[in-house]
Each structure stands twice: as structure tokens, then as C-alpha cells.
């Protein structure tokens, strides 16, 4: 079980796309969503992504845990923004339609609510597509995909190594922390913060220093099998592009182009219904 990706091997048209396609689409899509605050566009993206989700045969319960996480993060971030800057919407949109007051400077305005709506839509436009990516992309294909979209293969291989050794390091951390707990190392709230950090070091030092020893072994193993010999390399998990791949990339490129176009036509990143 890989703790970064939660790859679910359940054949679907989305699974069939190459990893490189999905990565390219993810990047194009998230840049499109990040770039514009045009509400109409931001409202369209979640609808589109839910459709794709249905298409991919990934079920809601497969990802419910992560959805919970992201929802909490979204709500917290919205609350923080309102707490710090209740008039941010007013300054962005240039008008002020007061609705009611919560006391002090916390006057709720239509502009502020609209800004929060945009923020929520932004989350809803990216989260499903990210979940789709991590559930339908085989982690083994990820490094090959990075290399395909132009990342140097050595760096792409670092990512693959990270994915390879995360489970090992996780297990080692667990074992070391048990043995250290037996010696009385605690990180619970009972201790002062400084003591907690010192306790953490007693677990992290053996973990990290033994990982340092491993770097040399792995590097030898790789060189003995010809890593770094050529300017490029091929990938066992690499797959050729097919029509569906090219179509998907074109669709996502069009999304990005639309976002750019909307920003130019709106004269700013914001679509302003108040003026």
C-alpha cells in the first residue's frame, strides 16, 4: 500500500490514459482553475470534474477520508480569511452591499460572500481532479510521466525512489519509536514543548542517520546497474500516446486558454457582477 497515491486498479477509460497525459491534464486544469476568478468558469469546472469522476468508476467511499481532510482545510481557510479580512471582497470588487453586522468590523457584505463562493468553487474545481489523478495513476508510471513532460530523468527517478522508500521509512520509524518509548521517550502533551522536541530527536536521529548509511548502498546498486550511463533512459512503465490521450490534452489546453481569454475580456482575474 502506497501512502501517497491511493491507486485503485479498476479498469476505466481514465485509467487507460497514460500517466503523462493525466499529469499534463492535471497541471493544465489546475493552472486554469488557479488563474481566473471568473465565477461562471469556476462553476463549470466542478460539474465537469464530477462527470469525469463518474466515468472513472472511482467510488465516493474510496476517497471519503481525503474529502473529509480537504473539506476541513477549506472551511478553516475560509474562516481565517473572514476573520482577518472581512472586507476583502469589498476591496476586490470595489462596491459595498452591506447585508448585516456581526459587531465591530465584521459587517457581512454581498461582495465578501461572493468572494468566499469563488474560493469554495476553486476548491471544488481542483480537489476532485486531484483525487481522480491519485486514484487512477499507477505510482510506477509517475516517474516516467514526469520525464515525459520534460523533467530530467535523474530528478524523475528521485521521485520514484521517494515513493519506493516511503513505506520502508514509515515502518522503520514505527519500530524505532516503539523501542524508544520503552526507554521512556514520550511526545505526548504531558511534556513541555522543548522536551517533546528533544524526545522527537531521540527517534529521528537513529532513523535519519541509518537512512544516510543507506544512501551509499542504493547509489552503488544503481551505478552497478548502469544508472546515469546515458543522457536519457527508457521506462518499463512508459506507454505510447493514443488518440484519447491527445484529445484529453487538447480539451485541458482549451480550458486553460478559456481561462486566459476570460481574464483578458474581464480586464482582471475577477468577474465582477456588481459593476
CA 30 to CA 252: how far, in whole Å?
Answer: 10
Asked whether position 7 contacts another protein by CB under 8 A, the answer is no
Pick the binder of another protein from 120, 233, 253, 272 (CB under 8 A): 233
Cβ closest to another protein, residue 203 vs residue 249:
203
Question: Judged by CB under 8 A, does residue 267 bind another protein?
Answer: no
Asked if 256 and 38 count as a contact pair (C-beta separation under 8 A), the reply is no
Measured CA to CA, the distance from residue 30 to residue 12 in angstroms comes to 22
Residues 157-176 interacting with another protein (rule: CB under 8 A): 157-173, 175-176
Asked if 60 touches another protein (CB under 8 A), the answer is: no
Residue 104 binds to another protein (criterion: CB under 8 A): no
186 binds another protein, rule: CB under 8 A: yes
Helix (H, G, I), strand (E, B) or coil at 108: strand
CA neighbours within 13 Å on the CB side: how many for 203? 24
In degrees and rounded to multiples of 5, residue 67 shows phi and psi of -60, -40
Does position 228 interact with another protein (CB under 8 A)? The reply is yes
Residue 223 is a binding residue for another protein (CB under 8 A): yes
Which pairs with CB-CB distance under 8 Å and at least 24 residues apart come from 66-73? 66/6, 66/131, 67/127, 67/131, 70/123, 70/127
Q: HSE of 105 in the Cβ direction (CA atoms, 13 Å)?
A: 8
Q: Is 220 an interacting residue with respect to another protein (CB under 8 A)? A: yes
Residue 107 pairs in a beta bridge with 101
155 belongs to the binding site for another protein (CB under 8 A) = yes
Strand ranges inside 70-212, DSSP E: 98-101, 107-109
Total binding residues for another protein by CB under 8 A?
111
Q: Indicate which single residue of 11, 104, 150, 224 sits in contact with another protein (rule: CB under 8 A).
A: 224
Examine residue 272 and tell whether it contacts another protein (CB under 8 A): no
Q: Nearest distance from residue 230's CB to another protein, in Å?
A: 6
Residue 117 binds to another protein (criterion: CB under 8 A): no
If one asks whether residue 180 binds another protein (CB under 8 A), the answer comes out as yes
3-class secondary structure, 99? strand
Binding part of the chain for another protein, among 10-18, 65-73, 103-111, 246-254 by CB under 8 A, reads 65-73
13 torsion bin: left (phi>0), alpha (psi -120 to 50), beta (else): alpha
Does the protein bind another protein through residue 43 (CB under 8 A)? no
Nearer to another protein, 204 or 260 (CB): 204
- Residues from 189 through 218 that contact another protein (CB under 8 A): 189, 193-194, 196-218
Cell of 16: 487507460
Gap between the Cα atoms of 263 and 103, Å rounded: 36
Minimum CB–partner distance for residue 35 and another protein (Å): 9
CB closer to another protein out of 67 and 107: 67
Q: Closest distance between another protein and the C-beta of residue 81, in Å?
A: 6
- Told to check if 253 binds another protein by CB under 8 A, we report no
Amino acid at each position: 500500500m502506497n501512502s501517497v497515491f491511493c491507486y485503485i486498479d479498476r479498469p476505466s477509460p481514465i485509467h487507460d490514459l497514460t500517466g503523462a497525459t493525466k499529469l499534463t491534464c492535471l497541471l493544465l486544469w489546475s493552472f486554469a482553475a488557479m488563474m481566473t476568478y471568473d465565477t461562471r468558469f469556476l462553476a463549470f469546472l466542478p460539474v465537469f470534474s464530477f462527470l469525469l469522476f463518474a466515468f472513472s468508476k472511482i467510488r465516493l467511499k474510496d476517497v471519503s477520508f481525503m474529502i473529509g481532510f480537504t473539506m476541513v482545510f477549506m472551511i478553516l481557510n475560509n474562516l481565517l480569511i473572514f476573520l482577518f479580512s472581512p472586507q476583502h471582497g469589498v476591496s476586490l470588487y470595489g462596491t459595498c452591499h452591506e447585508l448585516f453586522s456581526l459587531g465591530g468590523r465584521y459587517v457581512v457584505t454581498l461582495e465578501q460572500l461572493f468572494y468566499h463562493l469563488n474560493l469554495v468553487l476553486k476548491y471544488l474545481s481542483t480537489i476532485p481532479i486531484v483525487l481522480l489523478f491519485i486514484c487512477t495513476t499507477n505510482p510506477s508510471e509517475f516517474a516516467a510521466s514526469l520525464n515525459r513532460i520534460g523533467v530530467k530523468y535523474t530528478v524523475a527517478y528521485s521521485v520514484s525512489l521517494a515513493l519506493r522508500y516511503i513505506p520502508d521509512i514509515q515502518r522503520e520509524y514505527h519500530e524505532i519509536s516503539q523501542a524508544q518509548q520503552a526507554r521512556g521517550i514520550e511526545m505526548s502533551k504531558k511534556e513541555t514543548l522543548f522536551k517533546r522536541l528533544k524526545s522527537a530527536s531521540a527517534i529521528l536521529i537513529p532513523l535519519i542517520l541509518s537512512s544516510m548509511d543507506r544512501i551509499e548502498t542504493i547509489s552503488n546498486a544503481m551505478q552497478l546497474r548502469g544508472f546515469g550511463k546515458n543522457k536519457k533512459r527508457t521506462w518499463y512503465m512508459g506507454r505510447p500516446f493514443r488518440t484519447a490521450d491527445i484529445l484529453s490534452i487538447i480539451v485541458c489546453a482549451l480550458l486553460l486558454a478559456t481561462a486566459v481569454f476570460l481574464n483578458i475580456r474581464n480586464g482582471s482575474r475577477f468577474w465582477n457582477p456588481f459593476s
